[in-house]
Chain A
């Protein structure tokens, strides 16, 4: 019985250590802050709607390690991002750089607002120039009659 319990205990302890995720040890708070901001802007390519900061996919962990390694080598954020874009394309960035293949992505929404705005402006102008009222003009004879009789309420 005791042996069996011991075995069970061993199983629990060792299997737990198998699944433990090693925490990253940072040199100081600045490094941690920079690392967190950088990895929050990088897309995990395995689980595409997550950033690599939040993902525990094998590749995301590798990319986090590489990012930290490069931070410690003294690379700038831009250099680290370039490193990843070279390998994985613009898709790895949550905020893609502005260039010939991405200008539509950046300017498209403003274009839509502009076109919509022009449309609204044209419609308003057209309506303002239209003197014909939507409410039909009251009959003048009826008005006179009403004035004479004094029942204008």
Chain B
């Protein structure tokens, strides 16, 4: 009886600490989840005289992948982004973040361009509006322009099947 309270306290503390093991503190929940994507108006990479806005992309469920030629993890996920764009039936747009035109075009020529369009954000203002804090990040946005899911870090074979595709499907089924 004497040791009951310390024992309970010990078990509670142990459970609390144990629940923290394996969690990556670098992965933050998006503050924008289930909220409208921020407004943007950005030039297209293929022709920077043309601009695209959030409204142009309404009416479809799509993935917005934040990438840069300077980002090594973007190269890691590129095969899976390509697979997603080619096989899932959903559009994948690229947000080319803090990159130079020359480097991004060379990167796409070298590794292939799976993106329906690439939106150019050289100063990084739109990325900040999206709460981006590192590349790669992948947003899933529904037909009404609401952010439904955010993946921080590279898309892999596992999270593509277990998280991205189900999230796209769920976003497409939003009333």
What residues of chain A have their CB less than 8 Å away from a CB belonging to chain B?
45-46, 48, 58-59, 62-63, 66, 85-89, 91
Contacts and interface: CB of A to CB of B under 8 A. Distances in A.
A91 B28 contact: yes
Interface string B13-44: 00000000000011011111000001000000
Contacts of B28: 45, 88-89, 91
B134 A87 contact: no
Contact of A59 (B25, B29, B30, B133): B133
With most chain B CB atoms within 10 A of its CB, the pick from A63, A87, A88 is A87
Contacts of A48: 25-26
Contacts of B98: 58
Nearest to A119: B5
Interface residues of B, number: 18
A87 B124 contact: no
B131 interface: yes
B31 A89 contact: yes
B129 interface: yes
Given A58-B98, A62-B124, A87 B130 contact: yes
B99 to A, nearest CB: 11
A63 B129 CA distance: 11
Interface string B122-134: 0111001111011
B100 to A, nearest CB: 14
Contacts of B133: 45-46, 59, 88
With most chain A CB atoms within 10 A of its CB, the pick from B30, B31, B129, B133 is B133
With most chain A CB atoms within 10 A of its CB, the pick from B28, B30, B32, B38 is B28
A111 to B, nearest CB: 13
Nearest to A59: B133
B25 A87 contact: no
B70 to A, nearest CB: 9
Contacts of B38: 87
A9 B160 CA distance: 51
Contacts of B26: 48
B128 A86 contact: no
B128 A85 contact: no
A62 B29 CA distance: 21
A129 B108 CA distance: 81
B141 to A, nearest CB: 16
A15 B98 CA distance: 21
Given A58-B98, A62-B124, A88 B25 contact: no
Sort A-B residue pairs by CB-CB distance and give the 7 closest, nearest first. Answer: A45-B133, A89-B31, A87-B131, A62-B124, A88-B131, A91-B28, A59-B133
